[in-house]
């Protein structure tokens, strides 16, 4: 089963109504059927080492249903192929235990998983496919002394990259402990990774090992001093911003060996006039600057490696390395027209689509991307919606697995009279058909 189909099955499971406040199985209200939400026709295809959360659903004599994943007893007919947790399987990478119903595909093969509740039992047959290799996403890298970087453990499933970092244990395969450290961490976005901290110049070999699998991957980790700190603009070739809009300033460490490292979130930004250009305005996007008022040019710089100040003292940026400045001029301009791309796009259920808004200002005098400053909406939020965070507000999410269309609108308020300029685009949504079902339908047509 593809990753997209896994998403569809999980979404269906989450749609089941739970039993609020159910202390027991009910007095005079007994469960009459039990099922496992995942799989198609009682069969689940999984990939070696890639865990799957199973959900046990119970239906009762009064017609209600609920998720009883935590209350059923789970078992596997062959634990050399798959194991299933009753909160009793240790997760070496995190140091905890897996929750109830977590399926751990240990090795290629087939086995059956059973869930039991109050004399009822249901079965799911599991086919485990071999993992097509394990790798660390950056096989060779250089990390600045005093900086950190994240590594991911990845595999392959149906030709698509599979992030396995949540189940990876990280270490170094050498004794150069003074050079770097590595640990398993959860990042701010909820994903997992191996975090490398650079301590001193040198080289180490990072190792990722997956829980319950023999798969092992390595990567070369170099640590070196920063030769140059470079600040790169999101909108290359332009030095101006329209009032009220934003731009990313990307800080990069350049090394003597030709490598570079993105130091997003690890530098201190400064503005020569924060009444015109504000830095550190967004905690979730530290490299984003905001154009507050017309003026400039304002110089924006980034500093890395400044020494931590004593309590009550201000940080001394001269103790670190500072980039060459980027000049930003903020202008008051009136939006003449708005264009959103891609044009007449098509997106499949389970996928997402990022839109871009480009504004033409002062009767075509200049153009600027204003994606983050525009407001985004769809004509029917039951069919599709946009992301609900600042950095995903332009990301389109189809909500129904049906053929259809959604009209997307971008809005921008401009001028002294707060004129609203709009642009629309029609998105075609394609349903996802399970490959096994599609093959069965084709066979039926052929038989006729």
Last residue of a domain, one of 197, 224, 251: 224
For 277, 373, 441, the CA distances from 358, given in Å and listed in that order, are: 21, 10, 44
**What is the band of 2 on the pLDDT scale with cuts at 50, 70, 90?**
very low
Is the domain of 278 the same as that of 352? no
Specify if 445 maps to a domain: no
**pLDDT exceeds cutoff 90 at 251:** yes
Q: Tell me, what CATH number does 380's domain have?
A: 2.60.40.1080
Is the confidence at residue 180, as pLDDT, over 60?
yes
Nearby residues of 143 by Cβ (< 8 Å), 6 or more positions away? 149, 180, 196, 197, 198, 221, 222, 223, 224, 261
Q: Are residues 305 and 362 both part of a single domain?
A: no
| Beta-strand pair 326-331/366-369 | unpaired
Asked, for residue 437, whether it belongs to a domain, the answer is: no
Domain end marker among 282, 305, 331:
331
Question: Would you say residue 340 lies in a domain?
Answer: yes
Do 15 and 114 have their domain in common? yes
Using one digit for the tens of pLDDT, what is the confidence trace for 329-355?
999 999 999 999 999 899 999 899 999
Residue 48 to residue 82: CA distance in whole angstroms: 9
Looking at the domain assignment, is residue 118 inside a domain? yes
Residue 18 has pLDDT above 60, yes or no: no
Q: At 304, which CATH number?
A: 2.60.40
Give the model's confidence band at 98: pLDDT under 50 very low, under 70 low, under 90 confident, else very high.
confident
11-18 average pLDDT score: 34
pLDDT tier at 435, thresholds 50, 70, 90: low
The backbone torsions φ and ψ at residue 428, rounded to the nearest 5 degrees and listed phi first, read -95, 125
DSSP calls for 329-354: EEE---EEEEEEESSS-EEETT--EE
Q: How far apart are CA 80 and CA 7, in angstroms?
A: 26
Q: How confident is the model at residue 19 (pLDDT cuts 50, 70, 90)?
A: very low
**234: which 2 tokens?**
């999101």
Per-residue pLDDT tens over the stretch 375-430:
999 999 999 999 988 889 999 999 999 999 999 999 999 988 999 999 999 999 99
Same structural domain for residues 101 and 16? yes
Locus of tokens 């959900």? 55
Q: How many residues does the chain have?
A: 448
Calculate the alpha carbon distances from 352 to 3, 65, 238, 384, 391 in Å: 14, 31, 30, 10, 14
Sign of CA dihedral 235, 241, 247, 249: positive
Note the pLDDT tens digit of each residue in 21-49: 343 455 557 788 899 999 888 999 998 88
255 and 297 in a single domain? The answer is yes
Question: Per DSSP, which regions of 255-387 are E strands?
Answer: 260-262, 268-271, 277-278, 288-291, 295-304, 321-322, 326-331, 335-341, 346-348, 353-354, 356-361, 366-369, 375-378, 384-386
Do 340 and 426 sit in the same domain of this protein?
yes
**3-class state of residue 390 by DSSP:** helix
Q: Tell whether 438 is covered by a domain.
A: no
Do both 147 and 216 map to the same domain? yes
The verdict on residue 440 lying in a domain is: no
Tokens 């796009």 appear where? Answer: 345
pLDDT tens, residue by residue, 103-152: 999 889 999 999 999 889 999 999 998 888 889 999 999 999 999 999 99
* Residue 372 and residue 276 share a domain: no
Please tell me the total count of domains within the chain. Answer: 4
Tally of CA atoms within 13 A in the half-sphere of 245 that contains its CB = 29
Q: Which residues of 196-221 are buried (b: 16+ CB within 10 A; e: fewer)?
A: bebbeebebebbbbbbbbebebebeb
| Percent with pLDDT over 70 in the chain | 90
Mean local confidence (pLDDT), 52-58:
92
pLDDT of residue 20: 33
Do 117 and 19 share a structural domain? yes
Residue with tokens 């977590």: 102
**Boundary (domain end) residue, out of 110, 129, 148:** 129
253 and 164 in a single domain? The answer is: no
DSSP per position, 13-24: HHTSPP-TT--S
pLDDT band (50, 70, 90) for residue 7: very low
Q: 160 — phi, psi (to 5°)?
A: -110, 145
Answer left, alpha or beta for residue 313, where phi above 0 means left and psi between -120 and 50 means alpha.
beta
Residues 84 and 185 in one domain: no
**Domain range for residue 419?**
335-430
15 Cβ neighbours under 8 A, 6+ residues apart: none
For 360-386, the pLDDT digits (tens) are: 999 889 999 999 999 999 999 999 999
Residue 366 inside a domain? The answer is yes
Domain shared by 7 and 113, yes or no? yes
């Amino acid at each position: 089963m593809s990753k997209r189909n896994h998403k569809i099955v999980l979404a269906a499971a989450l749609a089941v109504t739970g039993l609020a406040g159910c202390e027991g199985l009910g007095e005079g209200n007994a469960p009459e059927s039990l099922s496992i939400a995942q799989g198609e026709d009682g069969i689940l295809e999984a990939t070696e080492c890639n865990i799957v959360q199973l959900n046990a659903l119970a239906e009762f004599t009064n017609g209600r249903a609920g998720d009883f994943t935590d209350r059923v007893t789970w078992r596997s007919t062959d634990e050399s192929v798959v194991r299933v947790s009753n909160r009793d399987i240790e997760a070496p990478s995190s140091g905890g235990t897996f929750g109830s119903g977590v399926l751990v595909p240990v090795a290629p093969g087939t086995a059956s998983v059973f869930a039991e509740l109050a004399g009822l039992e249901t079965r799911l047959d599991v086919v485990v496919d071999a993992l097509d290799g394990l790798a660390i996403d950056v096989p060779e890298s250089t990390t600045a002394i005093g900086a950190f970087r994240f590594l991911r453990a990845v595999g392959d499933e149906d030709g698509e990259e599979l992030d396995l970092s949540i189940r990876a244990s990280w270490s170094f395969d050498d004794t150069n402990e003074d050079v770097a450290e590595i640990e398993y961490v959860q990042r701010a976005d909820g994903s997992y990774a191996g975090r490398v901290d650079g301590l001193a110049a040198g080289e180490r070999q990072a190792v990722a090992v997956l829980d319950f699998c023999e798969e092992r991957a390595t990567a070369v980790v170099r640590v070196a001093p920063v030769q140059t700190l470079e600040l790169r603009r999101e909108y290359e070739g332009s030095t101006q911003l329209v009032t009220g809009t934003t731009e990313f300033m990307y800080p990069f460490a350049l090394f003597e060996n030709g490598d570079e490292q993105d130091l997003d979130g690890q530098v201190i930004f400064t503005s020569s006039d924060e009444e015109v250009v504000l830095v550190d305005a967004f905690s979730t996007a530290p490299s984003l600057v905001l154009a507050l008022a017309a003026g400039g040019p304002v110089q924006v710089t980034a500093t890395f490696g400044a020494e931590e100040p004593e309590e009550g003292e201000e940080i001394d940026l001269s103790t670190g390395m500072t980039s060459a400045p980027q000049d930003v001029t903020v202008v008051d301009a009136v939006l003449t027209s708005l264009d959103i791309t891609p044009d007449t796009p098509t997106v499949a259920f389970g996928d997402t689509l990022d839109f871009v808004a480009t504004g033409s200002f002062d009767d075509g005098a200049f153009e600027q991307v204003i994606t983050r400053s525009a407001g985004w909406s769809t004509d029917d939020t039951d069919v599709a919606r946009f992301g609900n965070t600042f950095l995903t507000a332009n990301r389109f999410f189809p909500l129904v697995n049906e053929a259809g269309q959604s009209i997307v609108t971008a809005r921008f308020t401009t001028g002294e009279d707060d004129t609203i300029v709009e642009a629309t685009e029609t998105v075609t949504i394609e349903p996802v058909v399970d490959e096994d079902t599609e093959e069965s339908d084709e066979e039926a047509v052929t038989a006729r």
